Amino acid sequence: MDAYFSDALIIGAGLAGERAAIEIASEGFSVNIISLVPPRQSHSNAAQGGVQASLNNTKETADDNWRIHFDDTVKGSDWGADQRVVEKICKLAPELVRQFDYWGAAFSRTKEGKINQRAFGGASKPRCAFASDETGHILLNILDSQVMALKIPIFIRRQLLSLIYTNEEVIGVTALNLVKGTIEVFTAKVIILATGGAGRLYEETTNSRISFGDGCAVALETGLVPVGNPEAIQFHPTCLVPTSILVTEGCRGDGGVLLDKNGREFMGDYCPTMKNPNLASRDVVSRSMMRHIKKNFGVESPYGPHLWLDIKRLGKEHIKTKLSGVDLLCRDYVNVNPIKEYIPVRPSQHYTMFGIKTGESCEVYGLARLFAVGECACWDVHGFNRLGGNSLLETIAAGYTAGQEAGKYLYMENTQNFSDLKIAEEYQKQTKRLEELTKNRGKENVFGVYREIQKTLTEKVGIFRKENELKEAVAKLAILCGKTQRIKLGYRETAANLELQLALRLPGMAKLALCTAQAALLRKESRGSHYREDYPDRDDKNWLKRTLAYFPEENDLPRIEYEPVEITLLPPGDRGYGEKK
């Protein structure tokens, strides 16, 4: 058995994980990072538009401050966010962004040399600091350089299999070495999950092919850790047809507009009171686009109807300097020149507001010494709808916060009762699981079951939801959960086996999908991205509360509980987008 020990262990080498690692290692503690891919290939790399922070760097943002950012975020969340956490990150944002500037991040600049900021949907000020339309790429490279300078070991090509815990206290993890095909054990005094979102649960998604929700699924399978708000799924309005690659909100923030098949700007029909209805929140714009398509104003194509995004009006120089990534994506993937042509777009799944439920300091509910950060966590910055630019902010703010808290923990609790017996038991359990999968004579094809999960969520738990379809989804996903236990592999080697890797994560993915459908069925209101056609209004009297989904091993369905959403500064009211129901 290959085993590794460190003071802190971080699973995931994206922005959140590496930011936490830097904070802990800078205090002199040993840190190990394990990752599916090399750090600079993490999904954080795909974030385009920018990071929200009230920097007051431009004429338009001279009076911006953390409180305005706070109000925008809470309204965007449809009052589902944890207001204590939102206040925390809005206050931290300027300092954290300027730290990246100090480290050398190549932000786009104003003529005066200050960090430039652009408008994003749902934000009352243009506060999104950006680096052309490759902000995630720039920030991730800067962080990874800091990690390298601190000589933090990174174990790549490792797939998380399980948490090792005793007496409701985490002591390590098991992981599959994807190159060797062997199981390894990593133990630590504190563990931070930073494994990203679960976008690959849907057929059409902007997520990269590593976003399976591994950390979230593994935590859920303990039966002790809840997933917060599993029904809260974000659909981004502008995704490239037919690839579903993200076309940044920065396009509309810089002045681009949505057009229908007649070349008409239509968003004013759906948000008539907004000054710029193209910059309503993502849930509102996505619903409006799909309603317009249903009214037969979509452009017919072999890949289904779509709408147009017009950035031609911004001009060649603007596109080549501030939207250069979009320019390349359009040319390379759909042979469209956005300087001269409209971009074909349609909403697709983009972000999981749900995740491992944590407290204000990123500590996980249900297991001590365990933290979760970034998209795999429900720190609950976003509630039921995330504002663009707040995801990058959350990664660096959560990484910073969890890193600081883990450091405090290591100073105070520098000893831990590691159970050699428990470690050995979990190692044997995962070894047996691997052997059974490679020898299993079941009849289910792993890719077929996976496609059924994706199809069920896409068709029945999408932008618009209603009771009969959600009941069908719950019933279907419960059956699929059973099928994940009867997989037959076509290729039985353990090394470099994509079929095996999917088979190992599929039971957890099916449980996550079932939590999403069950929670959406039970929440009889519309709030942010969760839109029930049979309950189209927000119901603060009965549903101003957060969903907590547990999945004990003996259960066929998740156990759904709720906790109240605490209101500290901004009571529920109108979101300000003027959406016509």
Q: How confident is the model at residue 417 (pLDDT cuts 50, 70, 90)?
A: confident
Q: What is the per-residue DSSP string for 149-189?
A: HTT--EEESEEEEEEEEETTEEEEEEEEETTTTEEEEEEEE
Q: Estimate to the nearest angstrom the gap between the alpha carbon of 150 and the chain centroid.
A: 27
What value does the mean pLDDT take over residues 467-491?
97
Query: Could you tell me the residue ranges of all domains in the chain?
Result: 238-349, 420-564
Which phi and psi (to 5°) does residue 170 adopt?
-75, 140
What average pLDDT does this structure show over 10-23? 98
Strands 128-129 and 117-118: antiparallel
pLDDT digits (tens, 9 = 90+) for 76-134: 999 999 999 999 999 999 999 999 999 999 999 999 999 999 999 999 999 999 999 99
**3-class state of residue 261 by DSSP:** coil
pLDDT digits (tens, 9 = 90+) for 297-338: 999 999 999 999 999 999 999 999 999 999 999 999 999 999
Contacts of 373 (CB under 8 A, 6+ apart): 16, 17, 20, 192, 193, 194, 362, 379, 395, 398, 399, 401, 402
Domain 420-564 has CATH 1.10.150.120: no
Cβ(155)–Cβ(140) below 8 Å: no
pLDDT for 441 beyond 80: no
Which residues lie below 8 Å from residue 581, measured CB to CB, with a gap of 6+? 536, 537
Q: Which amino acid is at 74?
A: V
Q: What is the pLDDT of residues 223-248, one digit of tens each?
A: 999 999 999 999 999 999 999 999 99
Token digits of residue 364: 């996980």
Q: How confident is the model at residue 29 (pLDDT cuts 50, 70, 90)?
A: very high
The string of pLDDT tens digits covering residues 505-532 is 999 999 999 999 999 999 999 999 999 9
Sort residue 202 into left (φ over 0), alpha (ψ -120 to 50) or beta: beta
Give the full edge-to-edge strand order of the sheet including 307-310: 233-240, 343-352, 307-310, 257-259
Instruction: State the pLDDT at residue 30.
Output: 98
- Which stretches does DSSP call E strand in 492-570? 545-550, 559-564
Q: Fold match between 238-349 and 420-564?
A: no
Catalytic site positions: 236, 252
Compute the distance between CA of residue 479 and CA of residue 484 in angstroms, rounded to an integer.
9
Mean pLDDT taken over the chain: 97
Instruction: Give yes or no for residue 416 having a pLDDT over 90.
Output: no
Could you report the per-residue pLDDT of 552-578, keeping only the tens digit for each? 988 899 999 999 999 999 999 999 999
CA 390 centroid distance within chain: 11
Question: Residue 414: what pLDDT?
Answer: 64
The residues, ordered by sequence, that sit 6+ positions from 132 with a Cβ below 8 Å of its Cβ are 108, 321, 322, 323, 324, 325
Helix or strand or coil: residue 87? helix
Is the CATH number 3.30.300.30 carried by domain 238-349?
no
pTM of the model: 0.98
Mean pLDDT of 1-30: 97
CA 216 to chain centre: 11
